[in-house]
Amino acid sequence: MADDRTQQARPSLSRQLLPAVHGMLARPLSSYYLLISSSGLLLLIGLTMVFSATSVEAFAKNGNAFSDISSQAVYALLGLIAFWVCQRLPAATLRTLGKYVLGVAIVLLVILAVLHALASAKIGSGRLGPIRANLNWLYLGPVSLQPGEIAKMGMVLWGADVIARKGPKLGHWRELAMPLFPVVGLLFVLVGYNDLGTMLVLLGLIVGLLWAAGVRMRFFAALGVLGLAGVGLLIAAASRGAGSGSEGAPNYRVERLTSFLTPLSECDVDGACYQIVQGRSAIFEGGWFGVGLGKGALKWGWVPEAENDFIFAIVAEELGVIGCAVVLGLLSVLAYTGFRIARRSGDPFRRLAASGITTWLVAQAVINMGGVVGLLPITGLPLPFISAGGSALVVTLAAIGVLASFARSEPDAARALNARPTPRWVRLVWAPLPPLPPPRRPGKPRPPVQKKPVEVGDGRRR
């Protein structure tokens, strides 16, 4: 009997853990630490998986297994510098930088489009002096970058600034039409012509900004119709040379869509379905616990773009379901933290920009993993933090730096940091103190509630 009473009096494990979790989340800087820890772990997993996916092929090419991972480590270092710079910048500076970042992205996208147009017209070979183009990559001498990645950051900062300035006026079509929609339409054309996947991420980013601004549902319906029409036109344009397509060749965008809709038993496994089949084979070989880090065999020439677009299949093969669950869990923590920062921010610009960045990262991760496991068509998007890539990793870490700046500026976090300021050298090396939020206005006292008398059983009133 005593043991039964002890078991009944002892609280369950969930009741013991939930107060501890709520206590940690209630701390002033919990958003900041969650953001740093989740993104840092994802970055470490990404560097490990890129080395695992490229070491054998790099050794076969030039006798150095560390050649590819060394370049990825350099980009990671540049991304950490971008993170450090962005987390030090106040909101006013970020609002000013938004239009310049977006302007640079548009100029680079125009140069990329002009070089592709000259190559299509048989004028040159996509090169103009030291500048040359290859699909959605622009090479400026020895430096290569993707202008579409810069466009994401510019669109977040500039769009959040424009929407925050308009405020309640967003309920009118003309306020959305100028200048937001023309710039968005131009970006969709410039980006989507070469990279349909990045255009879809930009569309999700815009939806996140407008949703956080409280735009009415009918605007999303109109935006969805325009987006679907634009996607249809860009798919049709692939047969005219858009992206990696060429005139007279099969439309590769249509092939990706039809291969997604066709069962694997009826699809051409040596043609349009080759990448899907090899990716699913890698996932199947992994099982629950994987074959072991560095022991996956399907990445050695069997899975196309194993270090980039299909790196999630390599995670599944080598680390199994457990490894995939860890990656999904960290991405979920990152998404929760981003939206938490947006919800707790008092400044409209911070709220909108945090929502846009989080929507961008979540949409890109969902599109990439959905394509790998067969739930969505393949788009060629990298997995944030995990896939190999230079400009994508640098811009992603810069966006995390912006979120970190917003997390430190949450009202409770700003009060806590200013109440017990760190030493001056720490502020110079890491980040300055955020500005204090305006003091809380005391609410008006509510009038006392007059309770009506209630009759009891003997007829008396109380």
Using DSSP bridges, classify how beta strands 127-128 and 131-134 pair: parallel, antiparallel or unpaired: antiparallel
pLDDT at site 298? 56
- pLDDT of residue 308 exceeding 90, the answer is no
Structure token digits, residue 40: 């840092």
Q: Which of 216-225, 232-241, 270-279, 353-362 tops mean pLDDT?
A: 353-362
Mean per-residue pLDDT over the chain, rounded: 79
pLDDT at site 240? 60
Structure token digits, residue 12: 């369950």
pLDDT band at 245; cut points 50, 70, 90:
low
Q: Which residue has the higher pLDDT, 67 or 337?
A: 337
pLDDT band at 391; cut points 50, 70, 90:
confident
CB neighbour class for 449 (10 Å; exposed up to 12, middle 13-18, buried from 19): exposed
Q: Which of 28-32, 89-93, 442-446 tops mean pLDDT?
A: 89-93
d(C-alpha 444, C-alpha 442), whole Å: 7
Rounded to the nearest 5°, which phi and psi values hold at 136?
-100, 15
pLDDT at site 400? 96
d(C-alpha 345, C-alpha 411), whole Å: 7
pLDDT band at 288; cut points 50, 70, 90:
confident
- pLDDT of residue 6 exceeding 60, the answer is no
Q: Which residue has the higher pLDDT, 156 or 228?
A: 156
Residue 300 zone, left/alpha/beta (φ > 0; ψ -120 to 50; rest): beta
- pLDDT of residue 454 exceeding 50, the answer is no
Tell me the pLDDT tens digit for each residue of 14-60.
456 667 677 777 788 888 999 999 999 999 999 998 888 887 676 66
- With contact defined as beta carbons under 8 Å apart, do 417 and 434 qualify? yes
| Token pair 């006392």 in the structure block, residue | 448
Taking residues 182-195, what's their average pLDDT? Answer: 81
d(C-alpha 46, C-alpha 31), whole Å: 22
- pLDDT of residue 355 exceeding 90, the answer is yes
Query: Among positive and negative, which fits the CA dihedral 423, 429, 431, 435?
Result: positive
d(C-alpha 33, C-alpha 277), whole Å: 40
Among 128-137, 168-177, 200-209, 399-408, the least confident range: 168-177
Q: What share of the chain in percent tops pLDDT 90?
A: 26
Which helix (H) or strand (E) element contains residue 25?
helix 13-25
3-state secondary structure of 206: helix
What residue segments make up the domains of the chain, in order of their start? 29-429
pLDDT at site 11? 58
pLDDT at site 106? 92
Q: Which residue has the higher pLDDT, 449 or 132?
A: 132
pLDDT at site 239? 59
Tell me the pLDDT tens digit for each residue of 117-175.
777 766 666 677 778 887 788 888 778 888 889 999 999 999 999 888 887 666 666 76
Residue 266 zone, left/alpha/beta (φ > 0; ψ -120 to 50; rest): alpha
Q: Which residue has the higher pLDDT, 255 or 346?
A: 346
